[in-house]
Amino acid sequence: MENADYKNKTVLVLGMGKSGYSAARVLLSLGCQVFLNESKDLTQDKNAQELQAKGVLIHSGELALDWFDHYDFDVVVKSPGISYENQMVKKALEQNISIVTEPEIGFSICRAKVIGITGSNGKTTTTTLVTDMLNNGLQKGKAYAVGNIGVPVCDVVQNVTEEDVLVTELSSFQLMGMPSIKPDIAAIIDIYPTHLDYHKTFDNYVNAKLSITSNQSAEQFLLVNEDQPDIFKIEEDNSQASLIPISLEGKSESAISIKSGFLYYQNEPVIKIDEIKLPGQHNLQNISFAVAIVKLMGIGNEAIQKTLTSFTGVKHRLQYVDEIDGRKVYNDSKATNIEAALVAINSFAKPEVLIAGGLDRGFEFDELVPALKEHVNKIVLYGETKALMAKAAKQAGITDISVVDTLEQAVPLAFSKSVPGEVILFSPAAASWDQFKSFEERGDCFIKYVKSLVVN
């Protein structure tokens, strides 16, 4: 999938995370003059020193706004997490400089087939499933899981061949800076209002997701969620690709159906439902998308079955942690929004002890009330959202509500309040950035706190 030509350009890279470092290295290989600006001090950073030795001009510790007065940049490569309100980004936009994200650079030299997967929830699980199924079933080549899953596209593109496949998890932040993306197969698993603090409006968020299909042609495929009729109509109206509907509600157009205890693709039984190891209705949606994707790639049922009878979940996504003195503990740190938390809370019957909380983005948590009422009888809250979540818990009729400052305090308290037979679920329903650098760090800390519990 070869897109825009970035050879021999003058490029400004904003941010020295994994994606910025990886993009800078590929840009150097394309003969670009590369500049890199990072607000954190990089004087002791080994990767920065490596790039400088190769000719990258680095300015760290503050914004390099004066660069725009001295250099003519052809393109700016922005870290996905950097806001469009950032002064460097605003300056670039004022000068009509193209703003892209790291995958755009990687795809410009990519020889492999590309699968693009996006959605509000389920991206990482679906990407992982597809990659595993392909590697179980491909006769030639290898599948690589890249993108928002944690491996920059630029890390692998220079080593792949036409027989390989990039299975790319793409966030809305990344897609906003990918004007040339044209995946062979694209999937939009679902769309719910999230990241609105970044996108400002739901329409902006939907449009960012639709970028995944905006350049597709009729020979390419777009998998869409037919159970979201309003979104489905928007996708149908804005894509030239061949649409593959997916429905768990038995819609007749769906490529996937559940009949007589089997998951079917078209009219072919693929696997018995009770042989699938991954629990939950939400995961059945992810599995449906994954099966349809790999079937379009010509993968046989044996390879699909091998994955689905062994795969038990992705870390931090309703991850089983341990059973301690009769309490099963689950880590769902990836639940950075209300919709994801609802999926986790609804996955278990009462009694459930819920730990939740995190960054306050100004949302109320009223949408959680029905699920809290049905599934949760004790709740421990921490972080910036603790008061707002306590309000929702009271509305749900929960009488055992505890409020603490940190996750480290919340874990032993939740355990002390639980009894054998109860599930302890950590599903924050909020982003991690009030106390942690990422949902991964938050989940790792949760696991550490669980493992340190002393059972008397």
DSSP letter assigned to residue 396 = T
Q: Is the pTM of this model over 0.85?
A: no
Q: What pLDDT score does 1 carry?
A: 45
Residues (pLDDT < 70) of the chain are: 1-3, 195-198, 350, 454-456
In a domain, 3, yes or no: no
Residues 263 and 355 in one domain: no
Buried b (16+ CB within 10 A) or exposed e, 96-108: ebbbbbbbbbbbb
Q: For residue 94, how many other CB atoms are within 10 A of its CB?
A: 9
d(CA 219, CA 32) in angstroms, rounded, equals 33
Residues 167 and 252 in one domain: yes
d(CA 298, CA 113) in angstroms, rounded, equals 13
Question: What is the token pair recorded at 292?
Answer: 């349809």
Residues 331 and 432 in one domain: yes
Output the CA–CA distances (angstroms, integers) from residue 312 to 285, 297, 317, 347, 364, in the order listed.
15, 23, 10, 15, 33
Task: Give the chain's domain count.
Answer: 3
Looking at residue 38, which CATH number applies to its domain? 3.40.50.720
281-296 helix and 301-308 helix, angle to the nearest 10 degrees? 150
From the list 306, 323, 280, 282, the residue with the least C-alpha distance to 418 is 323
Residues 91 and 124 in one domain: no
As to burial, measured by CB atoms within 10 angstroms (0-12 exposed, 13-18 middle, 19+ buried), residue 439 is buried
* Structural domain of 214: 109-308
E-only strand ranges, 86-201: 98-100, 113-118, 143-147, 165-169, 185-188
Cβ contacts of residue 25 below 8 Å, gap of 6+?
51, 154
d(CA 188, CA 119) in angstroms, rounded, equals 5
d(CA 20, CA 416) in angstroms, rounded, equals 44
Q: What pLDDT score does 282 carry?
A: 80
Cβ contacts of residue 17 below 8 Å, gap of 6+?
79, 81
In a domain, 456, yes or no: no
> Which residue reads 């790319």 in tokens?
168
Q: Which residues does residue 222 pair with via DSSP β-bridges, in sequence order?
A: 186, 243
3-state SS class at 62: coil
Residues 293 and 371 in one domain: no
Q: What pLDDT score does 81 carry?
A: 82
d(CA 80, CA 18) in angstroms, rounded, equals 11
Residues 87 and 160 in one domain: no
Q: For residue 229, how many other CB atoms are within 10 A of its CB?
A: 10
Q: What pLDDT score does 456 carry?
A: 41
Q: What pLDDT score does 189 carry?
A: 96
Contact yes or no for 136/306 (Cβ under 8 A): yes
Buried b (16+ CB within 10 A) or exposed e, 391-403: ebbeebebeebbb
Which of 100, 130, 162 is the C-terminal boundary of a domain? 100
In a domain, 337, yes or no: yes
Residues 206 and 85 in one domain: no
Contact yes or no for 56/34 (Cβ under 8 A): yes
Length of the chain as a residue count: 456
d(CA 384, CA 380) in angstroms, rounded, equals 13
Contact yes or no for 97/75 (Cβ under 8 A): yes
Residues 124 and 258 in one domain: yes
From the list 122, 120, 250, the residue with the least C-alpha distance to 194 is 120
- Detail the residues annotated as belonging to a binding site: 119-125
Peptide bond into 351 cis (omega under 30): yes
Which of 100, 118, 142 is the C-terminal boundary of a domain? 100
Looking at residue 348, which CATH number applies to its domain? 3.90.190.20
Residues 329 and 283 in one domain: no
> Which residue reads 């914004």 in tokens?
63
Residues 113 and 55 in one domain: no
Looking at residue 304, which CATH number applies to its domain? 3.40.1190.10
Residues 239 and 365 in one domain: no
In a domain, 37, yes or no: yes
In a domain, 169, yes or no: yes
Question: What is the token pair recorded at 413?
Answer: 């308290």
Q: What pLDDT score does 350 carry?
A: 66
Output the CA–CA distances (angstroms, integers) from residue 141 to 136, 150, 308, in the order listed.
11, 21, 21
Give residue 286's identity as a one-letter amino acid code: N
In a domain, 4, yes or no: no
Number of helices (H) and strands (E), helices first, in the chain?
17, 20
- Detail the residues annotated as belonging to a binding site for ATP: 119-125
Give residue 439's identity as a one-letter amino acid code: F
Which of 267, 284, 308 is the C-terminal boundary of a domain? 308
Which H or E element spans position 288? helix 281-296
In a domain, 166, yes or no: yes
Residues 136 and 33 in one domain: no
